[in-house]
Amino acid sequence: KDKNLGDNSLKLERLKMSRNKKWPASVKFEIALLAAKGEVTLNEICKRYEVSPSQVSAWKKELLERGTQ
């Protein structure tokens, strides 16, 4: 377990989604938060959660602009 990925990383890894599936808001938030913290590289996040860099960037941007609304 990677200490930089937080306590929920194992749970989140089980929620990896295939292409064209909806991600739960809680998972998008956790991934965006990891990206915003900058403790883990974008490539590491993408590889671990099988999501594209552009998607992570979009979720991060949304988190920074809208917060937890």
The pTM for the full model equals 0.69
d(CA 12, CA 8): 6
Going by C-alpha positions, the residue among 3, 65, 7, 69 that lies closest to residue 36 is: 65
Nearest-angstrom CA–CA distance, 52 and 25: 17
pLDDT tens-digit profile, the chain (69 residues): 455 555 565 555 555 555 566 899 999 999 999 999 999 999 999 999 999 999 999 999 999 998 767
